[in-house]
């Protein structure tokens, strides 16, 4: 080829660029509008007044306490579970590896409501059982408390830590631990002195991700914090926009800007820390090797995994099921009075509940399809081009993970609800918000699916004269389709259980599941709420099972 001839730009490159550009615009435009309105739009003085409000300092402190303590606990628990399952003989194989991430399939709002039914004062099932104990043994627990709120935040955050820490432990050189044991160190000394330092970067990264995620959570404080009178930044934003009349938009925008600044500072600190390289590195021979023998600690370690699964999945779902079958919420469980009336109310009588399920199924299906379509296009492009442009596209598609969902929701409300788009309360604004908020896990799933395809297969297709489009259709899509389907299911589950977009962008005329849950919760019809939440969990479990089953069926063909 002539040295002066310009390299040919393929049609696929153009498509990949426009997909990434669309996502960047949908992320940047709302945030820029929010910053512009706050700083340069004449609302700066009114926005700054929020910092001088008597409640602001307490709300900020509440957020720091809940997020800080729960993140520390989640890192400790998630890191321990990852070490148990990946590096010791206390792991339970594939089952043990799946257990800590099962809660990701259950919306955190459903888990929070389940624990309300378990540990609410006087009427919670746990308190009902404790009341039957002798006086000298009897006590009560209260989910509507600091301890209760931190507990829910913690168990919600463990899967995020586990996924990152498990990958780090899995790639760790086992020779490091073996050398420690040969030199006489016990199991716990090896854990503290060798295993943990080796994955310290992963634990710090997981703590950063979890902190950002926890700052932006609305569902847990909406269910637990409002009754406990523990106000955090996200509940205050929603209060200013939905509970004040007229809505106090400048103050809500300023809180959103403050959260964005906090997130930026966290990323800067993490970057500076990682750049210093002051942590143990993994080297030596390839991964594999024997697992550490736990001895008498083997079954206590396995019990920790089972307790976590019970706290995040089994107990909340059981509580939801019981309340859904009771005619009224009572700590006394009497199967003789169980009925399906609450399910009938949620499915056929409560008009908003029925509409919200129908809308959420449609919006989540379309949103997940769009998000995965864009994620697949970018993942294929970056897999074929290991250059700076490819890395830039990959970073762009995953950048929404660095921004709390509620802040994105505020940005969408400011940018698209009014002039010149007038999308307030429409399906379009909800689907676009869903795509931006939850495209990141879809991108991760798409990238993972493509990396499982050997590069030699792709190169063989090109050697045989296949164009890029033909290679994608005939090689990549058939082999990676099970992973893409799994990614669609994960994105769908996230969208179905969303409360961040629902709280700000949905309405009575166009409700989604999150909006309906908040409305039913405020109305106090707990039986219908339990039935509705149980249906949401069952829908998610069915979709996950069906999609992964479909993926396995395709993989066998």
pLDDT tens string 44-61: 777 778 888 899 999 999
Q: What is the mean pLDDT of residues 518-533?
A: 91
Checking 506-509 for CB contacts under 8 A at 24+ apart, the result is 506/425, 506/430, 507/424, 507/425, 508/352, 509/425
What pLDDT score was predicted for residue 382? 82
- Residue 370's nearest CA partner among 425, 443, 422 is 443
Higher local confidence (pLDDT), 297 or 378: 378
Average pLDDT, the chain: 83
The Cβ of residue 345 has, within 10 Å, a number of other Cβ atoms equal to 18
Q: What angle do CA 247, 252, 257 make, to 5 degrees?
A: 155
Which of 421-430, 458-467, 495-504 is modeled with the greatest confidence?
421-430
Cβ–Cβ < 8 Å for 482, 497: no
Residue 286 has pLDDT above 50, yes or no: no
Least confident of 7-11, 155-159, 267-271, 381-385: 7-11
Q: What is the mean pLDDT of residues 283-307?
A: 70
Cα atoms found within 13 Å of the Cα of residue 338, Cβ hemisphere only: 11
What pLDDT score was predicted for residue 9? 64
- Residue 363's nearest CA partner among 352, 355, 351 is 355
In a 10 Å sphere around its CB, with 0-12 CB exposed, 13-18 middle and 19+ buried, how is residue 413 labelled?
Answer: buried
- Residue 251's nearest CA partner among 266, 265, 269, 239 is 239
Residue 28 has pLDDT above 80, yes or no: yes
Cα separation values, 539 from 168, 297, 350, 542, Å: 32, 38, 18, 5
Omega before residue 282 within 30° of 0, cis = no
Q: Domain extents for the chain? A: 10-38+358-511, 42-279+302-336
Q: What is the mean pLDDT of residues 453-476?
A: 68
Q: What is the mean pLDDT of residues 229-253?
A: 88
What pLDDT score was predicted for residue 341? 94
**pLDDT band at residue 551 under the 50/70/90 scheme:** confident
pTM of the model: 0.85
Residue 5 has pLDDT above 70, yes or no: no
Place of tokens 């890395």: 391
What pLDDT score was predicted for residue 173? 65
What pLDDT score was predicted for residue 146? 96
**pLDDT band at residue 242 under the 50/70/90 scheme:** confident
DSSP secondary structure letters along 423-436: -TTSHHHHHHHHHH
Residue 258 has pLDDT above 60, yes or no: yes
**pLDDT band at residue 287 under the 50/70/90 scheme:** very low
What pLDDT score was predicted for residue 69? 97
Place of tokens 């080829």: 1
Which of 457-466, 475-484, 512-521 is modeled with the greatest confidence?
512-521
pLDDT tens string 446-460: 887 887 666 666 667
What pLDDT score was predicted for residue 374? 93
**pLDDT band at residue 1 under the 50/70/90 scheme:** very low
Higher local confidence (pLDDT), 68 or 304: 68
Q: What is the mean pLDDT of residues 6-31?
A: 81
The reply to whether 10-38+358-511 and 42-279+302-336 are identical in fold is yes
Higher local confidence (pLDDT), 453 or 213: 213
pLDDT tens string 215-226: 989 999 999 999
CATH 3.30.2130.30 fits 42-279+302-336, yes or no: no
Residue 412 has pLDDT above 50, yes or no: yes
What pLDDT score was predicted for residue 458? 62
**pLDDT band at residue 100 under the 50/70/90 scheme:** low
Residue 281 has pLDDT above 50, yes or no: no
Least confident of 22-36, 388-402, 500-514: 388-402
Residue 3 has pLDDT above 70, yes or no: no
Cβ–Cβ < 8 Å for 172, 197: no
Residue 12 has pLDDT above 80, yes or no: no
Least confident of 153-167, 273-287, 400-414: 273-287
**pLDDT band at residue 285 under the 50/70/90 scheme:** very low
3-state secondary structure of 467: coil
Which class is domain 10-38+358-511? Answer: mainly alpha
């Amino acid at each position: 080829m002539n040295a002066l001839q310009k390299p040919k730009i393929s049609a696929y490159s153009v498509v990949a660029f426009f997909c990434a550009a669309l996502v960047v615009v949908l992320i940047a435009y709302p945030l820029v509008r929010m910053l512009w309105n706050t700083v340069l739009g004449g609302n700066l003085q009114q926005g700054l007044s929020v910092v001088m409000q008597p409640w602001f300092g307490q709300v900020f402190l509440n957020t720091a306490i809940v997020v800080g303590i729960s993140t520390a606990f989640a890192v400790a628990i998630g890191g321990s579970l990852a070490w148990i399952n990946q590096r010791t003989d206390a792991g339970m194989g594939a089952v043990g590896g799946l257990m800590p991430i099962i809660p990701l399939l259950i919306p955190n709002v459903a888990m929070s409501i389940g624990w309300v039914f378990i540990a609410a004062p006087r009427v919670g099932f746990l308190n009902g059982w404790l009341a039957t104990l002798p006086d000298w043994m009897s006590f009560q627990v209260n989910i509507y408390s600091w301890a209760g709120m931190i507990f829910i935040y913690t168990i919600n955050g463990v899967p995020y830590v586990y996924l990152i820490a498990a990958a780090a432990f899995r790639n760790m050189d086992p020779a490091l631990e073996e050398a420690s044991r040969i030199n006489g160190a016990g199991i716990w000394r090896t854990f503290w002195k060798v295993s943990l330092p080796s994955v310290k970067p992963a634990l710090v990264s997981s703590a950063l991700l979890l902190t950002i995620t926890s700052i932006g959570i609305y569902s847990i404080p909406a269910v637990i914090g409002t009754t406990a009178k523990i106000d955090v930044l996200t509940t205050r934003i929603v209060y200013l926009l939905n509970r004040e009349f007229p809505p106090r938009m400048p103050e809500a925008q300023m809180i959103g800007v403050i959260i964005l600044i906090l997130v930026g500072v966290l990323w800067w600190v993490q970057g500076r820390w990682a750049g210093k390289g002051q942590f143990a590195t993994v080297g030596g021979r390839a991964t594999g090797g024997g697992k550490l023998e736990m001895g008498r600690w083997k079954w206590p370690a396995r019990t920790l995994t089972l307790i976590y699964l019970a706290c995040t999945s089994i107990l909340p779902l059981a509580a939801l099921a019981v309340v859904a079958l009771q005619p009224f919420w009572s700590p006394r469980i009497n199967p003789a009075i169980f009925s399906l009336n609450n399910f009938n109310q949620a499915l056929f009588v409560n008009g908003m509940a029925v509409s919200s399920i129908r809308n959420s199924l449609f919006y989540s299906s379309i949103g997940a399809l769009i998000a995965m379509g864009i994620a697949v296009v970018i993942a294929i492009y970056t897999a074929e081009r290991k250059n700076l442009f490819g890395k830039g596209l990959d970073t762009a598609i995953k950048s929404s993970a660095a921004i709390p969902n509620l802040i994105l929701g505020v940005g969408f409300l400011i940018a698209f609800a009014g002039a010149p788009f007038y999308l307030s309360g429409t399906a379009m604004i909800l689907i676009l918000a869903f795509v931006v908020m939850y495209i990141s896990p879809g991108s991760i799933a798409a990238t993972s699916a493509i990396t499982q395809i050997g590069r030699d297969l792709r190169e063989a297709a090109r050697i045989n004269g296949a164009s890029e489009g033909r290679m994608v259709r005939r090689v990549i899509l058939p082999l990676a389709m099970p992973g893409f389907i799994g990614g669609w299911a994960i994105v769908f589950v996230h969208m179905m259980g969303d409360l961040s977009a629902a709280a700000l962008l949905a309405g009575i005329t166009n409700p989604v599941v999150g909006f309906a849950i908040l409305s039913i919760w405020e109305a106090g019809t707990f039986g219908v709420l339990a039935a509705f939440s149980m249906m949401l969990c069952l829908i998610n479990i069915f979709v996950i099972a069906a999609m992964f089953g479909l993926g396995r069926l395709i993989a066998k063909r």
